[in-house]
Structure formats: structure tokens, C-alpha cells
Amino acid sequence: MKETGWKKTAGNGSDGKRTEGKKSFGRGEKTTGFSKNSAKVGVNGEKQGKSARKVSEVEDKWGTHGDRKRNVGEKGGQKTVRGGQRGKTKCPIYRECGGCQYLHLTYDQQLKEKQKRMEELLGGVCPVRPIIGMEEPYHYRNKVHAVFGLDRKNNPISGIYKEGTHRILPVDSCLIEDQKADEIIVTIRSMLRSFKIRVFDEDTGYGLLRHVFIRGGFTTGEILVVLVTASPVFPSKNNFVKALREKHPEITTIVQNINGDKEHVLYGKGYIEDVLCGLRFRISSRSFYQINSAQTEKLYAKAIELAELTGNETVLDAYCGIGTIGLIASKHAGKVIGVELNQDAVRDAVQNAKKNGITNAQFFCNDAGRFMSHMAARGESADVVFMDPPRSGSTEEFIDAVALMQPKRVVYISCGPDTLARDLRMFAKHGYKAKEAWPVDLFGWTEHVETVVLLSQ
Ligand code: SAH
């Protein structure tokens, strides 16, 4: 996704290619897009501070795997900061936010740093191939959260929680988030007073609007806005939705979510669609979707290349989300079986198979470990297993079951290097060796690294 309101950025990707002047937000058919600030969450969804915990409960409903910490404000506290030079702090809330641990480095330096860390972690285990970097390392986040609150003068503010506190750091835009989403959040904030919408006050329990969550389609430019409210009663909602759409006609759907739970579609179809690796995917608000679409295409392409499918294999897509990896692999495979715990995501995956005319894929809603151990107990097998667990990694139950099913290859996609290393050791006990690891930079300026590892016996 990416957007209008492009800002010029000087990128220097791992390939050394200058990308100066490239607009951010997607490649797309359309040039809508978005980006914005976010509530801060710890690496496993745990949050720092009291309110942080509340946020993470709500955020977790949207499956924020893989991208937990983040954020740089380009405009902090509703004040603007210019593009900035490499190696200098480009963000006014760099320290307080804590999301971009590598912002003091150049992009190339941070890639080297990530490479080094992965080599330290996996060096004795398997070769670590050169990290696949971004061509455009700014404004890549297709998903943005803003927490809403009040300043001392009772004016509504939006931003992120200051690390380890309950305090909201006002943020109007962020170097890594999509710019259109930033703009929409600022617009929403500016509309609150005239619509008499009070922001939720965690101390008193009064008020309505808690956060706003925005997600955009990289290729399609479709935009979902989720208004997270403290109560189902939203008095001015029709007029508010109408006015917001007038200001941002690029918004394709608006959903009200009550405290991270129930949802009402206020406008549009309630989900967005996006095109990734040539397939069209529907993504519901609470389904997981990788936050950096350009890099995700490279990640999935590498995963599928490593699987060396010939067209006949039975492929398992474990922790499959909306079915992306399995469906992209399906044309190179005999059949695909996907398993995923989140019901909304499974529903999306089933629809996504239909939408793309794919008839050799089935999806199941279950715990991946339980599902695999039942399959193994029934004597079923798979030729290739793709696994893409959350940052907490996989389980012994899952890995034991994979070993019983004896696939030729396991392709492990991970956003948690430490749990990856742990799980690779478990696989090694069963005779599955890691053959090669490919780090992919999905989370520029943050310390996070995505890695795809090929294992075989
Ligand atoms: N492969 C997908 C999703 C990866 S994110 C993609 O690339 O988009 C990890 C997924 O694992 C999330 O969708 C999450 O809901 C799911 N998940 C978490 N714990 C799980 C479990 N125990 N069993 C099955 N799925 C699980």
C-alpha cells in the first residue's frame, strides 16, 4: 500500500540502489495509501505500563505478529520534522518511542548489523545468506494504530504510548508508517470536537473513542479504518462516517470495534483486498497480514523457491493466516492444507481460494500443533511443510508431529530469531537439519528480522 501525499525519501537499499525521490505507499494500480502512528506493544504483545496492556489486548485481536515495536514520528507532538540525514536522529520522539532501535544508523549499516546478529545466532547451525534489504526503507507499514487521549488542556491527542508509561506521545506522522494513514488519523482527531465525540479517558472511564486502526492494500490502495470504541453507542456515527469519507474518499471501508471485540461495519464491505504475488486476498480487520508488502513478496518468493515444488506434492501451510503462502504455492503443488487458529483468518483463506479459482487448497481452524499431531496419528503425511508461527515460535507438539510425518522439506518462516534458533535445535533432534537461512528486512529501522530457513533430513 502506499499513498497520496508522498514524501520524498532518500533510500539506499541493500543493493546500493538509490531510491531518492520515490514516493512511498505501494506500487499500485491506485495511489491511495496511508500510514500513521501506533500504540506501542512489547515483542510478544505484552505491553509496557498499565494502559499498554489494554492496548495490546485490543491490538492482539488484529494479529499483530511480527511487527510489535515500531515507530518513528516524522512529525512529533503535532509538529513537523524534515526528512533528515542518515546517521542523525530523524525523529523527534526516537528515544521516547523506542520502536526504531536502528534509526541512528544508515540503512546499509543496519542491514550489516542484522546480518551479523543472524550469523551469531545461526552461524554454527547453517549458512546465513545475505540479508534481502528494502529498496524504499521508509513508510513501509501498511498497518497503523493510534491511541486517542486528552492533553492537559483537555484537547484530544493521538499517538503512541511513551515507552513504559501510560502517557500518550502525540504523533502526527511516522517515518516507517504509511503517510495516508497518518493523514486520516489526523483528520479523525480534528473532527472529534465538532461531532461531540469524546475520547476515552482511562482514569475516569468516560468517553467513546479509544483508538483508530488503519490498514491499506499495497496494490489495490483499498483502505480499512477501524474505530475502536469503549461502548457500542456511537451517537453521531452516520454523519461522522459521511464526513470522514468526504474528506478521504480513498477510504473503502469503516468498521466500529467495541473494546477489541464485537465489530459493526459502518461503511463498505468490512475488509480490504490486496494483490500479492499475483493473487488477490481478502483481509479482515482481525486477520494477520504482513505489514511490509513489498518485502513480503520477496519473502514468499524465497520460501516457495526453497520448497522446490514440482507440482505433485502435498503441502502443509501451518499458521497460514489468510492463506497467502499456501495459495501462492498451490499452483506448484498437488494439494495444499492450511491450518490457522484465528477463525476470521480461516474464513478469509477459504474465500481467498475461491476468489482465485484455486480448488486444491483446504483450510482448517485449529491449533497447528494439535492439528498436526492428529494428522500424524492418522498416518497422514506431507511432502513439504511451510510453517510461519508467531514470534513465540512453534511447539514441541508441532515439531514432533512434523518429524513423524517425514516431509522432504520444511520451510520455516520466522519473525523471532531466538525462538527460531530454539525450534531449529528441536528439529535437529529429529534429524531435520537447517540447510540455509535467508534474513529478509521487513522491519527497517527496528531491530526485528524476518528469516526463512530451509530444513531437510
Ligand atoms: N502465514 C501467514 C500468517 C503468519 S502470522 C502470513 O504470512 O500472512 C502467524 C499466524 O499464526 C497468525 O495468523 C496467527 O493467528 C496464527 N497462530 C497463532 N498461534 C497459532 C496456533 N497455535 N495454531 C495455529 N495458528 C496460530
What pLDDT score does 112 carry? 98
- pLDDT digits 0-9 by tens, 13-40: 332 232 323 333 344 433 333 333 333 3
- pLDDT digits 0-9 by tens, 47-75: 222 233 233 333 333 333 333 333 332 22
CA of 133 to the centre of ligand 1 (A): 24
Tell me: pLDDT of 393 over 70: yes
Instruction: Kindly state if the Cβ of 348 falls inside 6 Å of ligand 1.
Output: no
Atom of ligand 1 nearest to the CA of 386: 1
What pLDDT score does 10 carry? 27
What pLDDT score does 336 carry? 98
Atom of ligand 1 nearest to the CA of 320: 1
- pLDDT digits 0-9 by tens, 248-263: 999 999 999 999 999 9
Specify whether 415 is catalytic. yes
- pLDDT digits 0-9 by tens, 288-304: 999 999 999 999 999 99
Instruction: Kindly state if the Cβ of 368 falls inside 6 Å of ligand 1.
Output: yes
**Backbone phi and psi for residue 446, each to the nearest 5 degrees, phi listed first:** -100, 170
CA of 287 to the centre of ligand 1 (A): 9
Q: What is the pTM of this model?
A: 0.84
d(CA 427, CA 456): 9
CA gyration radius for the chain? 21
User: Which cell goes with 111?
Assistant: 542491514
Which residue among 91, 100, 174, 415 is the active-site one? Answer: 415
CA of 424 to the centre of ligand 1 (A): 18
What pLDDT score does 327 carry? 98
Candidates 64, 319, 397, 414: which one to mutate for ligand 1, based on the most atoms within 8 Å of Cβ? Answer: 319
Output the residue whose Cα is nearest ligand 1's atom 6. Answer: 321
What is the mean predicted confidence (pLDDT) over 119-144?
Answer: 96
What is the mean predicted confidence (pLDDT) over 77-87?
Answer: 34
d(CA 32, CA 61): 26
Query: In this structure, are strands 279-284 and 314-318 parallel, antiparallel, or unpaired?
Result: unpaired
What pLDDT score does 248 carry? 98
d(CA 71, CA 440): 19
Tell me: pLDDT of 405 over 90: yes
Confidence band of 162 (pLDDT split at 50, 70, 90): confident
List the one residue out of 203, 262, 267 whose CA is nearest residue 228: 262
Higher pLDDT, 11 or 374: 374
Confidence band of 241 (pLDDT split at 50, 70, 90): very high
Instruction: Kindly state if the Cβ of 273 falls inside 6 Å of ligand 1.
Output: no
Instruction: Kindly state if the Cβ of 367 falls inside 6 Å of ligand 1.
Output: yes
What pLDDT score does 77 carry? 30
Candidates 286, 288, 386, 411: which one to mutate for ligand 1, based on the most atoms within 8 Å of Cβ? Answer: 288
Q: Give the H or E element holding residue 350.
A: helix 343-355
List the one residue out of 24, 281, 72, 40 whose CA is nearest residue 171: 72
Instruction: Kindly state if the Cβ of 397 falls inside 6 Å of ligand 1.
Output: no
d(CA 185, CA 347): 29
- pLDDT digits 0-9 by tens, 137-147: 999 999 999 99
Q: What is the DSSP letter of 12?
A: B
